[in-house]
Amino acid sequence: MKTGKTIYLDHQATTPLDRQVLAEMAPYHGGSFGNPHSSDHSLGWESARDTEKAAAQVARLIGADPDEIIFTSGATETNNMALLGLGRKAAGGRRHRILVSAIEHKSVLAPARVLEKQYAFTVEQIPVDRQGCVELSALNDMLDEDVLAVSIMAVNNEIGTIQNIAKISDRIRCHGAVFHCDAAQAPIAIPIASLATHTDILSLSGHKMYGPMGIGAIFIARLLQDRIEPLIYGGGQQSGFRSGTLPVPLCVGMGVAAELLTGEGAGEKRRELRRRRDHFVRRLRGSGWQVSLVGPEGGARHPANASLCFHGFSAHEILGALQPRLAASTGSACTSGIPEPSHVLRAIGLNGEDSEATIRFSLGFGTTDEDIEQSVILIEEVLEKLSKSKSV
Ligand code: PMP
């Protein structure tokens, strides 16, 4: 996909709003403006009905029931709500350990640290292998009756690793711990129609799945709902879990985005992503420069993700030289700008130099074969230019 002069290969940072999603949101920015919590008039009832429909669409995407879905502002808030919500209610109890994988997003790692500092929990990191897969034997050894919760993401945002959630879930459930899964990157990568049955709490983000920015959702399994303390208090909307007026256009947008990814159609789109991504990686690996794939090699990788190490180069310099013609990123978009090596790349054993040389490219449904060819040409030109300037 081209936006002006820029080929956009940063879909794991954010996806563009789907045209159908935008069209279905449009009326809610005009005529249909009722507050969904206004229970005294028909405009309010209409908005309430539309947000309920959106919750049902999100529920269907993951195999949950509509009353197990609560809208939030995005996956960051959702991850905070999952960890802090559980931790604050369980503080002081027997279960005082929390396990998080070493490659979680910072919106999981940071609230886990808060639970450690302010609520006396012990937070431990579950190691991953070179592909980014959680070490199941280590997880087994760490699990016991003192573990309150385990947080493991479904699909990694930097290197695209897809975890075996069903297997992980079985182990966690044997020990009675709560399983939180950050699935923000999952809807594009894998079919998730039964993800809710394997998890207790799950996080989603609208703008990672062709929906709008500023909305996300948390799934909380019905049996667990009395174990979560809200983050936000007020008028008691959304069964008291998250007070505040629901943003109807955003809810509708996220619902439609979920619907578009539910069912058969998404499978063909994923196959196309994989075909183009594999071609992109093959072309760059065969370019004569030393380029290697970081993370999983086979099917356990997000079909749109190509995390590539350009040995001997600086990822920042490459991306800088590619502006404004090609958009991709170093590390995750949320941490770009903070001058510290990616904790994900460190966790899979990359050394500092290779981490600094790694770029995440992520394709989208709108990426064309022509975009891929152009991108390869642009990258080769930049590598040539940078290597010349280095040898001068
Ligand atoms: N988790 C993962 C895996 C993500 O990739 C992101 C976005 N980078 C988030 C959480 C945060 O999502 P949001 O932007 O909706 O807050």
> What are the structural domain ranges in the chain?
2-17+265-391, 19-261
Ligand 1 midpoint to CA 385 (Å): 34
Given 133, 251, 309, 334, which residue is catalytic?
Answer: 334
Q: Tokens 């990258």 belong to which residue? A: 379
Tens of pLDDT, residues 185-223? 999 999 999 999 999 999 999 999 999 999 999 999 999
Percent of the chain with pLDDT over 70: 96
Q: Tokens 């966690």 belong to which residue? A: 172
Q: For residue 78, which atom of ligand 1 is closest to its CA?
A: 16
Cα–Cα distance measured from residue 208 to residue 198, given in angstroms and rounded to the nearest whole number: 21
Q: Is the distance from CB of 243 to CB of 233 less than 8 angstroms?
A: yes
Ligand 1 pocket by C-beta < 6 Å: which residues? 74-76, 79, 105, 107, 153, 157, 182, 184-185, 205, 216, 332-334
* 334 carries an active-site annotation: yes
CATH of 19-261 given 3.40.640.10, 3.90.950.10, 3.30.390.30, 3.40.50.1820? 3.40.640.10
Radius of gyration of the CA atoms of the chain, in A: 21
Nearest alpha-carbon partner for 160 in 348, 16, 312: 348
Cα–Cα distance measured from residue 283 to residue 270, given in angstroms and rounded to the nearest whole number: 20
CA-proximal residue: ligand 1, atom 12 (nearest): 75
pTM, rounded to two decimals: 0.96
Tens of pLDDT, residues 78-101? 999 999 999 999 999 999 999 999
So what's the pLDDT on residue 333?
Answer: 47
Neighbouring-strand partners of residue 307: 360
Cα–Cα distance measured from residue 274 to residue 161, given in angstroms and rounded to the nearest whole number: 14
Query: Could you give the count of Cα atoms lying within 13 Å of 375 in the half-sphere of its Cβ?
Result: 29
Token pair in block for residue 295? 């993370």
Report the topology of domain 2-17+265-391: Aspartate Aminotransferase, domain 1 (3.90.1150)
Q: Please give the chain's pLDDT, 392 residues, in tens.
A: 555 689 999 999 999 999 999 999 999 998 888 999 999 999 999 999 999 999 999 999 999 999 999 999 999 999 999 999 999 999 999 999 999 999 999 999 999 999 999 999 999 999 999 999 999 999 999 999 999 999 999 999 999 999 999 999 999 999 999 999 999 999 999 999 999 999 999 999 999 999 999 999 999 999 999 999 999 999 999 999 999 999 999 999 999 999 999 988 899 999 999 999 999 999 999 999 999 999 998 889 999 999 999 999 999 999 999 999 999 999 754 555 556 789 999 999 999 999 999 999 999 999 999 999 999 999 999 999 999 987 75
**2-17+265-391 and 19-261 have identical folds:** no
Tens of pLDDT, residues 121-130? 999 999 999 9
- Pairing type for strands 2-3 and 6-8 reads antiparallel
So what's the pLDDT on residue 179?
Answer: 98
Tens of pLDDT, residues 281-322? 999 999 999 999 999 988 899 999 999 999 999 999 999 999
Q: For residue 216, which atom of ligand 1 is closest to its CA?
A: 15
Quote the mean pLDDT of the chain: 95
Ligand 1 midpoint to CA 75 (Å): 5
Degrees to nearest 5, angle at CA 307 with 302 and 310: 165
